[in-house]
């Protein structure tokens, strides 16, 4: 299983400007608890949601105050998607639910970044565990993920 040390190594190796923030155990497990811990808006917490399609897998990064619209993303990408199970999340990313970072996954995964993220200059996203976050500029996040910007939230 991968963790925060793996993300720190990935940041260093790929020259990504992101800062790991260590919190109390479980404080970064949900968007609400993470926003409370960082004293920021819920929207500024970037969620990383793994979706499983009929043929493909995608990781959607969206603001904490938004929900991924499965019908919208299925229509845009041309196949039906569902939320991944916890075991599928570990199998595809190497990280457990609540700790999935936006990059540095076990397998190559297509990254979709919801336009809702663009409201902010920086966001906090998972740092590889339920008690870490990564502070990263939105432009750096988009670059580091090589993510596609789409409108996939509700």
pLDDT of residue 56: 95
What's the pLDDT at 26?
80
Looking at the domain 4-150, which fold is it?
YbaK protein (3.90.960)
**Segments making up each domain of the chain, as ranges:** 4-150
Q: Three-class SS of residue 69?
A: coil
pLDDT in tens, 12-50: 999 999 999 999 988 888 899 999 999 999 999 999 999
* Cα–Cα distance measured from residue 43 to residue 24, given in angstroms and rounded to the nearest whole number: 21
pTM comes to 0.94
Alpha carbon distances (Å) from 54 to 26, 77, 79, 83 = 33, 11, 6, 12
Tell me which residues of the chain have a pLDDT lower than 50: none
123 alpha carbon, distance to own chain's centre: 11
- The pLDDT score that the predictor gives to residue 30 is 85
């Amino acid at each position: 299983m991968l963790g925060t040390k793996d993300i720190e190594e990935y940041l260093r190796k790929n020259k990504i400007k992101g800062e790991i923030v260590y919190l109390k155990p479980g404080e970064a497990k949900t968007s609400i608890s993470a926003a409370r811990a960082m004293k920021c808006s819920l929207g500024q917490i970037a969620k990383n949601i793994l979706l499983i399609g009929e043929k493909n897998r995608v990781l959607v990064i969206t603001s904490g105050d938004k929900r991924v619209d499965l019908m919208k993303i299925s229509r845009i990408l041309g196949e039906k998607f569902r939320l991944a199970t916890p075991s599928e999340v570990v199998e595809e990313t190497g990280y457990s639910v609540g700790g999935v970072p936006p990059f540095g996954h076990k397998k190559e995964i297509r990254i979709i970044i919801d336009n809702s993220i663009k409201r902010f200059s920086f966001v906090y996203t998972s740092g590889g565990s339920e008690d870490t976050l990564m502070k990263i500029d939105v432009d750096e996040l988009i670059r580091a993920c090589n993510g596609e910007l789409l409108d996939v939230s509700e």
